Amino acid sequence: MKRIAVFTSGGDAPGMNACIRAVVRTAVYHGIEVYGIMRGYSGMIKGEFVKLDSASVSNMVQRGGTILKSARSQKFMTKEGRQQAYDQLMNNGIEGLIAIGGNGTFTGATLFEQEFGIPTVGAPGTIDNDLFGTDYTIGYDTAVNTALEAIDKIRDTADSHDRCFFIEVMGRDSGYIAIPCAIGGGAEIVMVPETQMSTEAVIDTLREGWKRSKTSFIVIVAEGEVEGNVHEVARRVKAAIPQLDTRVTIVGHIQRGGSPTAADRLLSSQIGIAAVEGLVNGMRNVMAGIVDKKLVYTPFADTISKKKLINQSFMRMVEILNS
């Protein structure tokens, strides 16, 4: 393999630049030319390729976002769009791809390989940490620390004013961000899609706390919570406990930005190297990940279809620490 390309797709995540850096320098180490594709599959269709070398990724390991930018492409979901992407790759002599992204990215890569035979190795780039085949995804540790910093500040004002704050964190349909934030932030309650905690259970817990003369509360709500969005949950609680002074805070997209933590820089570098070397060794349609501190390659079919389960001991920790 003489020439490969790397791209980022889907939501950005802190550490993507560190992964791009690792991909480029590993390719150079193995004597392979490497190109960056701007704006994911959209840029692939348009032929937005830029040649990368070691110097072009200097001073990048600490930067948030992605220098290759990211975009969602409706056109790539069509056969015509994928044909155009393939033609652009062939025109530029690209023999393999490194895709940094999540489920949607890997779904597109799987279809692309089935139709045109372009081998792809994936790097799990998403703050949600919801991909089967790796203990942690690129950007997850940074997102948790960013959200936790915000929660710590909200805790101060909640305590000062005897208020109950409902705080929404990201995670799509996963509670992987919410649960460590609840444990590390000392939240009284955490609502995540996996447990399907009812609003009635939240009300009961808050009432019990109120009876014990507790006057400030933190309730962490994952954005994909099945009971409804954080505003709806807060509204129902307020209706049931009128004496409770409630406020809502959505941490939002600050969780996707910022300089990656040391853990994310290390993970991104490990996976970037593994992705290139997997591609060189003939792997295709697999995601490089770390499970039990060991490098593994998981088929895209599994990362897409299999559910990554929440560690139930974490939920028990929340219950014990706030009893």
Taking only the tens place, the pLDDT of each residue in 116-161 is: 999 999 999 999 999 999 999 999 999 999 999 999 999 999 999 9
> To 10 degrees, the CA torsion angle through 275, 101, 168, 249?
110
In order, the DSSP letters of 152-218 are HHHHHHHHHHT-EEEEEE--TT--TTHHHHHHHTT-SEEE-TTTT--HHHHHHHHHHHHHTT---EE
Q: Which residues pair with 189 in a beta bridge?
A: 219
**Both structure tokens of 185:** 């932030």
Query: Which residues are annotated binding-site positions?
Result: 11, 21-25, 72-73, 102-105, 126-128, 155, 163, 170-172, 186-188, 212, 214-216, 223, 247, 253-256
Whether the pLDDT of residue 322 is over 80: the answer is no
Question: What amino acid positions are annotated as catalytic residues?
Answer: 128
Is 139 within 8 Å of 123 (Cβ atoms)?
no
Nearest to 86 by CA among 112, 104, 63: 112
Query: Which residues are annotated binding-site positions for Mg(2+)?
Result: 103
Q: pTM for the complete prediction?
A: 0.95
pLDDT average, residue stretch 37-65: 97
Taking only the tens place, the pLDDT of each residue in 278-314 is: 999 999 999 999 999 999 999 999 999 999 988 888 8
Cα separation, 119 vs 63, in Å, equals 29
Taking only the tens place, the pLDDT of each residue in 191-221 is: 998 888 899 999 999 999 988 888 899 999 9
Query: Which residues are annotated binding-site positions for ATP?
Result: 11, 72-73, 102-105
